[in-house]
Chain A
Amino acid sequence: MELHVLIVDDSPAMRAFIRRVLDLSGLEVGLCLEASNGEEALRLLEDNWVDAVLTDINMPQMDGEELVRRMSGHEVLSLIPVLVVSTDRTEGRIQKMLTLGAKGYVTKPFAPETSREELEHSLGVVHGTE
């Protein structure tokens, strides 16, 4: 399955890293959109459908918390799984983001296989046994 994703992070270097990790993870990535904050992400989502959003939390203008809150409250955007990618590993923050509507949470640093597992979990991908 080819995945269309939106990466939201204010650091171009981190966006490039996440994109690279997705490629290394073995996931088939199709369209890969990028936004530097929540506002930009919402604008892109008005015109583009993606299978998953990967977002940082601390960003200028609109942070990841507000992005997840807005997406959860939207009839259509609430259908898109959001995976949070953050340096914040505190239990309180993780719980808060999951309660707001995020489907998964990956803490930086992370290995390619971690991002794949979390993305598949967020998308509800089930592996068959042969």
Chain B
Amino acid sequence: MEPNEIQTALASAVEEVLETMCFASVLAGAEGAVPPEWDGAAPAFTAELHFEGSPSGGFRVGVPLKLARVVGAGFLGREETEVSDSQAEEVVCELANMICGSVLSRLESKATFQITHPELAPPEHGISFEGAGTNRWFDLGDGILAVSLELQQTV
């Protein structure tokens, strides 16, 4: 699978999910875990899941706390101030689930995958995707959302 193909699938999947489910738009995006000027160690909700199929692998979504509330508000149809930490966490997990499903169907539309439930890393870990597969970040205006897709080599 070509790296460009994966980047395109990541970009299309994130835009589709954010626009359809969270009524949010992507202003800019590029390859890499985070933009050079952005602090990846800032507190963030990071949801990670694994999938089995052809290919198997892992997927992660990292969203800074403030942006998680903005995205959560769009998803739930509420004001940012009405979105609790646990609701923001749930929405980030749902985003991971939906984006991963969308990416996999774009890369392998005929294959069947088993996707595990997303697990959250402690917010203080920030977003640290370096060296973990194909990374891409997205600027939503209110912050940066980052995704990482790791595909296991099939023999």
Contacts and interface: CB of A to CB of B under 8 A. Distances in A.
Q: Do A and B come from one complex?
A: yes
Given A13-B76, A87-B98, A109 B105 contact: no
Nearest to A111: B20
A13 B91 CA distance: 6
A88 B93 contact: no
A106 to B, nearest CB: 12
Contact of A11 (B16, B93, B110): B93
Interface string A1-27: 000000000011110110010000000
B17 A109 contact: yes
Interface in B47-78: 72, 75-77
Contacts, number: 63
Nearest to B114: A58
B46 to A, nearest CB: 17
Interface in A89-109: 89-93, 107-109
A109 B98 contact: yes
* Interface residues on chain B, size class: 20 to 34
B112 A90 contact: yes
A109 B16 contact: yes
Nearest to B93: A11
B58 to A, nearest CB: 16
A20 B87 contact: no
A103 to B, nearest CB: 21
A58 B117 contact: yes
Given A17-B75, A17-B76, A87 B115 contact: yes
A20, A90, A110, A111 interface centre (most CB from chain B within 10 Å)? A90
A11 B94 contact: yes
Contact of B77 (A20, A90, A109): A20
B143 interface: no
Contacts of A109: 16-17, 20-21, 98, 102
Contacts of B109: 89-91
B100 interface: yes
Contact of B112 (A12, A86, A93, A107): A93
A92 B54 CA distance: 14
Contacts of B16: 109
B111 interface: yes
A20 B94 CA distance: 16
Contact of A58 (B20, B90, B110, B115): B115
Nearest to B117: A58
Interface of A: 11-14, 16-17, 20, 58, 86-93, 107-111
Given A17-B76, A90-B109, 5 more contacts: A11-B93, A13-B90, A87-B97, A87-B100, A88-B101
